[in-house]
Amino acid sequence: MPDAIGLFDPDRVAVVGGTDSEGSIGRAIMENLESFDGTVLPVNPKKEEVLGHTAVSSVEEIQDPIDLAVVVVPPKIAIDATRELGAQGVTNVVVITAGFGEAGSEGATREQELSKIADEYEMNLVGPNSLGVMSTPDNLNATFGPSNAIPGGLSFMSQSGAFITAVVDWAIDQGIGFNDIVSLGNKAVLDESDFIEIWESDPNTEVILGYLEGIDDGRAFIDNARSVTKETPIILVKSGRTEAGAQAASSHTGTIAGSERAYEAGLDQAGVLRAENVQELFDYAQILEGQPVPDGDGIAVICNAGGPGVMATDAIGESNYDMASFQDETLETLQDTLPEGANIYNPVDVIGDADNERFKAAIDIVLSDKNVQAAMVLASPIAVLDYETLAIDISTLQEKYETPVATALMGGERIQNPADTLREHGIPNYFDPARAVNSLDALMTYRDNTQIEYETPEPFDVDKEKVQEILETATKRSNRLGVEAMGILDAYGIETPTSEIVDSPQDARAVAAEITGDVVMKIVSPDILHKSDIGGVKVGVPESGVKDAYEDLLTRAKNYQPDARILGVQLQEMVDLDTGIETILGMNRDPQFGPLLLFGLGGIFVEILEDTTVRVAPISEREAKTMIGEIDSAPLLRGARGNDPVDETALVEAMQRLSLLVTDFPAILELDINPLVVSPDGVQAVDSRLTVDPDKL
Ligand code: ADP
Ligand code: MG
């Protein structure tokens, strides 16, 4: 990406289509640029001057270099203008004009043209269909929104321009300030990944926030965000629009792992904080901007009323914090300082008649305890307590100890000024104690995200050619493959039980004779992928019953679907399900994030139990381990009720090998190993089902 400094920090801004015509967008932008510290150059063939700025009649006539061009002319002219800007060497362009990708196929073609021009001239192009950009350090407001943001450390990107105008307006009342704001528009060129990169190296950006409806290239975003979040927190609000990547899915993984789960997993893997709603977005942003991260998990609560203290304690129980247990000397000092009836244990209750002095002393003592790494101060209004003084005391003590603090000084009108005082010191105040805990919890999540060591996925010794060969052969019949393609798992080192596909009862008997013990027999047909649903799986067949079972399986298949293509019957060694647990390991492709791995409790009840977890592939060893620990049935795998724990190392390796397989073969669109039987002796893939796109082979 070329240098994008001019986008938010330009000296000279050209407005292509800048005008003074009442009610036009071109005028709104010119008016918003009134306060800009640099030079504004309107480009308009019909005007010599626009709102006091001398105009030029065309882009070609621009004399001095332009750092940023804002384009507001109709779509067709906008394309020409952008090309001319490119030819003039202007690299930062914001296309406000609508009527592109969002406006049918004609618009989409126009948008492609715009991207091509941007490519050719290596332009940083924002939009089209953008509200514009804002940057407070230079008083730059190159948007057509109604208000100017106040300065601050938040840099904000939004896929909705309307949301920006609403947020900026509201934030002024809340005292929330911004550094840069960008309306991403249709993201023809620059997208969310580019902006997190731009802001990573911007010293004025303390926190990156985003409202996104989709992520263009999920994998690129994950890789990019991982490095950015180490320095600058990223918070995204999830929007409802992602849920339906609703392609008809034939695999379990396809039905279970919807786009919404891909988005959640992807953002987690990216180390991004997800906000559930707009309130959380700004709660998290403010606390991350204003407070340090805790260097431990212990939290203390100091209050003057029991009720709110209990509410806070309940909320803490659901958070990642633990109620800190105070050191002896803390308890002694509190005992000496607080009156009879006060609670010296956490949550500390200074009781209802506490004045400012007592409250302050208690906070000081508690914050000095090294078991306290975060604190909450709660207060209800009483006559002897002055909120403003309390706010100043809390701020001073927070700065003294550098412990993250959030407050719930509760009340109405009387809280306005004290809340402002606290905010100036970066301390958020809430009416609801639970909301304060939730915000403090975000600090912890962020801290944990920055501590993750990302490893590169391991390489394994695999037989790629073999997989290619099996897939090519199998897809000649059908794009949906069943157990006839199990060999691809073998080729990638995922163990499968001894199996063979036969096409006569005689051969079946002969194969069964070579397998120790009873066998499992399964119908093999690309048209019957849910075999047990039609009685197409027979477990525990003795050698003497093999011929009859063979005939029976064929009859069932033909009854179910007379024209089904039958490839034969698979004979398989029995896998011990007394010591083994049926799990599912699968993959489906998300349009934004690519291959999404699913792991969970398997067998025939997988969709009913829905105990699964997902990650974007490729996954590392650490991520595979986390996935195993995440499912509700994890204790079952780890030796609940006196059972031996399963071979987790083998399971982790199988997960990584599958991750490699689906990364190596984009042609595999969906894949289920169900069951993958996991036991103390290792793992075995017993059944497989996949969908392949032969064009990608
Ligand atoms: P499908 O999922 O198409 O119905 P599977 O091959 O998964 O067919 O078989 C269904 C169930 O039969 C499995 O979930 C498992 O409980 C049992 N089963 C299948 N193969 C074996 C085997 N080799 N050993 C033990 N049980 C098996
Ligand atoms: Mg199965």
Q: Is the CB of 577 under 6 A from ligand 1?
A: yes
Inform me whether the pLDDT recorded for 645 exceeds 80: yes
Reported as a pLDDT band with limits 50, 70 and 90, residue 643 is: confident
Q: Could you tell me which CATH number the domain at 577-696 has?
A: 3.30.470.20
* Atom 25, ligand 1: residue with shortest CA distance: 575
Q: Which two tokens stand for residue 6?
A: 């001019």
Probe ligand 1: pick from 534, 573, 604, max atoms within 8 Å of CB?
A: 604
**Ligand 1 neighbour 538 (Cβ under 6 A):** no
Distance CA 617, CA 16 (A): 44
Top-level class of domain 498-573? alpha beta
Q: Is the CB of 604 under 6 A from ligand 1?
A: yes
Nearest CA to ligand 1 atom 10: 532
602 Cβ below 6 A of ligand 1: no
Nearest CA to ligand 1 atom 14: 603
Which of 267, 222, 215 lies closest to 454, judged by CA?
222
CATH class, domain 292-450, is: alpha beta
CATH 3.40.50.261 domain range(s) in the chain: 5-239, 292-450
Residue found by looking up tokens 């050191």 in the block: 327
> What φ, ψ does residue 139 adopt, rounded to 5°?
55, 35
316-374 pLDDT tens trace: 999 999 999 999 999 999 999 999 999 999 999 999 999 999 999 999 999 999 999 99
Sequential DSSP letters for 430-446:
-SSHHHHHHHHHHHHHH
Mean pLDDT over residues 38-42, rounded?
Answer: 97
pLDDT above 70 for 251: no
* Residue 250 confidence (pLDDT) above 50: no
| Neighbouring-strand partners of residue 12 | 39
675 lines ligand 1 (CB under 6 A): yes
Tens digit of each residue's pLDDT (9 = 90 or more) over 162-212: 999 999 999 998 889 999 999 999 999 999 999 999 999 899 999 999 998
Token pair belonging to 462:
């695999």
pLDDT band at 1 (very low <50, low <70, confident <90, very high): low
CA distance 190 to 484: 45
- CA-nearest residue, atom 18 of ligand 1: 539
pLDDT at 256: 54
> Which residues does 636 contact at the CB level (< 8 Å), separation at least 6?
581, 601
Ramachandran angles phi, psi of 571, nearest 5°:
-105, 135
Q: How far is the CA of 580 from the centre of ligand 1 (A)?
A: 12
Residue type at position 358: R
**CB of 697 closer than 6 A to ligand 1?**
no
686 ligand 1 Cβ < 6 A: yes
Query: Is 406 a pocket residue for ligand 1 (Cβ < 6 Å)?
Result: no
CA of 651 to the centre of ligand 2 (A): 18
Percent of all residues in the chain with a pLDDT value above 90, rounded to a whole number: 86
Which bound ligand lies closest to the C-alpha atom of 541?
Answer: 1
Give the least confident one: 190-194, 251-255, 272-276, 309-313: 251-255
The answer for residues whose C-beta is within 8 angstroms of residue 380's C-beta and 6 or more apart is 304, 305, 308, 352, 410, 411
User: Over the stretch 507-565, which tens digit does the pLDDT of each residue have?
Assistant: 999 999 999 999 999 999 999 989 999 999 999 999 999 999 999 999 999 999 999 99
Q: How far is CA 321 from CA 397, 449, 508, in A?
A: 21, 16, 61
Answer whether 672 contacts ligand 1 (Cβ < 6 A).
no
Residue 616: strand, helix, or coil: strand
CATH code of the domain occupying 5-239: 3.40.50.261
The secondary structure of residue 638, as a DSSP letter, is T
Residues of the chain with CATH 3.30.470.20: 577-696
Residue 249 has pLDDT above 70, yes or no: no
Determine which residue's CA is closest to atom 7 belonging to ligand 1: 687
CATH 3.30.1490.20 location in the chain:
498-573
pLDDT of residue 34: 96
- pTM summary value: 0.88
Length of the chain as a residue count:
697
Q: What is the pLDDT of residues 601-634, one digit of tens each?
A: 998 777 778 899 999 999 999 999 999 999 999 9
Mutation choice for ligand 1 from 515, 532, 608, 671, CB with most ligand atoms inside 8 A:
532
